Each structure stands twice: as structure tokens, then as C-alpha cells.
Amino acid sequence: DLPSIQKRGYLIVGLSADYAPLEFHTTIDGQDTIVGADVAMAKNLASSMGVKLQLKEMQFDALIGALKTHKVDMIISGMSETPDREKQVTFSKPYLEERQVVLIRKSDAKKYHTIADFSNAK
């Protein structure tokens, strides 16, 4: 809980850093570093708690077990809600909903309506 994290001085966030743009490895100043939107969010959270952030990287499938056995304080790893996970852990409210689109020119809008309209086969 929060008091024990503050006493310890750092928040331990579990993640699997193989999921760009949310968490992934990159090289900064010659140093391998884990970055991404989830990492930025974890940093903000730690700073609002007044503690440092420790990222604990592991296989995605190991995350829930690590949370249940107190190896991490929370998971921030692009994880979605599923009924099986819901049985084991408590979810926050969703913080990201992906709704990306492909964009084309207005002048082409009448010509293309579905993927099939881009096919040679038709």
C-alpha cells in the first residue's frame, strides 16, 4: 500500500518492455533504456507519490503472478481487461482506448469506401 511504498522510497512497476509505443527498449546516450507512454505515466505516478520509480521487467505472462506475490506494486504494461485477469487482480479505469484511422484526401472520398476498393482484383 501507499505508506509502505513511501517508507521504501520507490514504486515498483512491473512491465514487459516489448510493446511500443507503450513500453519498449531504446538507446539513449549509448545506454539501453525502457521508454514509452506507460513509462511516462509510471514516472508521473511515482513523483505524485513522492517516491522514485523502479521498473521491473519480465515476460508479459509473468506479470500477474508477480503482482499477486508482491514482487511488484502494480502492473502498467498495456494490459487489457479480460475475465480471467479480473478474477485474479483489480483493474483501474481504462486509460487508453485505441482508435486509429487511415486518412485519405477529401477529393478521393467518393472513390474509396472499403479495403476492397484498393484491390486490383475487383
Give 95 or 122: the residue with its C-beta nearer to ligand ARG: 95
Give 12 or 16: the residue with its C-beta nearer to ligand ARG: 16
DSSP conformational letter for 80: P
List of residues contacting ligand ARG (CB under 6 A)? 16, 18-19, 23, 60, 77-80
Residue nearest to ligand ARG (CB): 19
Give 25 or 111: the residue with its C-beta nearer to ligand ARG: 25
- Nearest-CA neighbor of 39 among 59, 60, 54, 61? 54
Question: Smallest gap, in angstroms, from Cβ of residue 82 to ligand ARG?
Answer: 7
According to DSSP, the residues that pair with 57 across neighbouring strands are 15
State the Cα–Cα distance between residues 36 and 79, nearest whole angstrom.
14
Place of cell 539513449: 28
Question: Smallest gap, in angstroms, from Cβ of residue 11 to ligand ARG?
Answer: 18
DSSP conformational letter for 4: H
Question: Smallest gap, in angstroms, from Cβ of residue 78 to ligand ARG?
Answer: 4
Give 80 or 100: the residue with its C-beta nearer to ligand ARG: 80
- Count CB-CB contacts under 10 A for residue 31: 7
